Amino acid sequence: MSAALLMIDVQIDFCPGGALAVADGDAVVPRINAMQDDFPLVVATQDWHPAGHSSFAASHPDAEPFTTTEMPYGTQMLWPVHCVQGSAGAAFHADLAMDRAALIVRKGWNPAIDSYSAFFENDRSTPTGLTGYLRDRGVTALTMAGLATDYCVAYSALDARRLGFEVTLALDACRAIDMGGSLDGAMAQMREAGVAIT
């Protein structure tokens, strides 16, 4: 088993009508479903925040969503309340095929640290455990798909490259938030890191 598909955060709150909707986010679902049979291993990530998470603007007096604050681990974007543990918005999209998902990595559950990447929390050092899981199964190559291209997908792809995995970004199976040029910046970083874009 050398290749795996990583389905990133295909959740209700990131789809149209959700609390942190990504434009056209639900369009990734049919493409991701069609890709799954091409991989011997499928893994999903799920944003999974406790109520009152420190990355929520509502947890900071007078803060507005999409502004930033300084945290012990660096600059943190403040988001609308989203993907709260057990909420309808945290659920996977109803049409996303989950039968082949061998593992679900829940991230962002630590109330003090956000987690974009499938591999590390935003302090860039606390691991999720995914690296060991993949290495124990002989995975050397990862294909990334899901939401959002310029945040959780890009952070996951960059970390995977840093960890020595071959990484492919299935661009047609991703959608971006794209604030202030964030998509162009993320794409440039991924290309520079050696992520293959298909």
**Which residue, among 73, 69, 189, has the nearest Cα to 125 in the 3D structure?**
73
Per-residue pLDDT for 18 more than 80?
yes
* Domains of the chain, earliest start first: 3-51+92-197 (3.40.50.850)
Indicate the SS3 state at residue 8: strand
Q: Is there a contact between 133 and 171 (Cβ–Cβ < 8 Å)?
A: no
pLDDT at position 178, please?
Answer: 92
Active-site residue among 13, 107, 150, 174?
107
Decide if pLDDT at 15 tops 90. Answer: yes
For the chain, how many helices (H) and strands (E)?
4, 8
Does the annotation mark 9 as catalytic? yes
Q: Record the pTM.
A: 0.95
In the residue annotation, 107 being an active-site residue is answered as yes
Q: For residue range 47-80, list pLDDT tens digits in order.
A: 999 999 999 999 999 999 999 999 999 999 999 9
Q: Is the pLDDT of residue 1 over 70?
A: no
The b/e string for 123-160 (b: 16+ C-beta within 10 A; e otherwise) is eeeeebebbebbeeeebeebbbbbbbbbbbbbbbbbbb
Q: Note the pLDDT of residue 143.
A: 98
Query: What is the spatial distance between Cα 179 and Cα 139, in angstroms, rounded to a whole number?
Result: 33
pLDDT digits (tens, 9 = 90+) for 77-103: 999 999 999 999 999 999 999 999 999
Phi and psi of 191, rounded to 5°? -60, -45
User: In this predicted model, what pLDDT tens digit does every residue of 142-197 receive, in sequence order?
Assistant: 999 999 999 999 999 999 999 999 999 999 999 999 988 999 999 999 999 999 99
Q: Which of 47, 114, 150, 152 is catalytic?
A: 152
Q: Which of 9, 13, 26, 114 is catalytic?
A: 9
Where do the H-state alpha helices sit in the chain?
28-35, 130-136, 154-162, 182-193
